[in-house]
Amino acid sequence: MSIRVSKSIKVKATPEQAFAAVTDWHNATRLQTNFSSFRPMDADALGLGVVVAIKGRFHGLPLMVRMKITEFDPPRRMVGQISGTLRSINGWLFEPLEDGRTKVTFINEYDVPPPLRILLGQNSFIDRDVTQMTEDALRRLKALLEAGKVL
């Protein structure tokens, strides 16, 4: 069973600036602090088909996953399919607004294996934590962009 979390925020930046901040792997751990590294398997490659090794922790448990970029449409969209300890699809969408800002949407669609879902219940802490992590990543992106502190 898949769980989908989709959150948006408006930032004072162009879609190009916001897209560049999210797709620069050096910024990834600043946006998603539960991860300690994002390392493209082919140097600093970026684009469709690129595979990124990701390491981090969730509730103290180590996570080691690979993300394959399945959609890449600068500066509008980047989607990655994650496999490993965790299976999910993550998407970043960038929509220009009339006032010069950009609406950034971060979507996390993830699977919790049925036995674990039954054990944890329908509204588990995992759902709350993924929602919180999604919102936090967007807030950090906004703060970094609007303070001019993206790498």
Domain coverage including residue 53: 2-146
> What's the pLDDT tens digit per position in 73-97?
999 999 999 998 778 899 999 999 9
H-assigned helices in the chain:
15-23, 25-31, 114-120, 125-146
Q: What is the pLDDT of residues 35-68, one digit of tens each?
A: 999 999 987 688 999 999 999 987 777 888 999 9
* CATH code, 132: 3.30.530.20
84 and 65 in contact (C-beta within 8 Å)? yes
Residue 151 lies in a domain: no
Starting at the edge strand found earlier in the chain, the sheet holding 35-40 runs: 2-11, 102-111, 88-96, 77-84, 61-73, 51-58, 35-40
In a domain? residue 116: yes
- Assigned domain for 58 exists: yes
**Average pLDDT of the chain, as a whole number:** 88
Model pTM greater than 0.85? Answer: yes
Q: Per the structure, how many domains does the chain have?
A: 1
Q: What 8-state DSSP symbol labels residue 149?
A: -
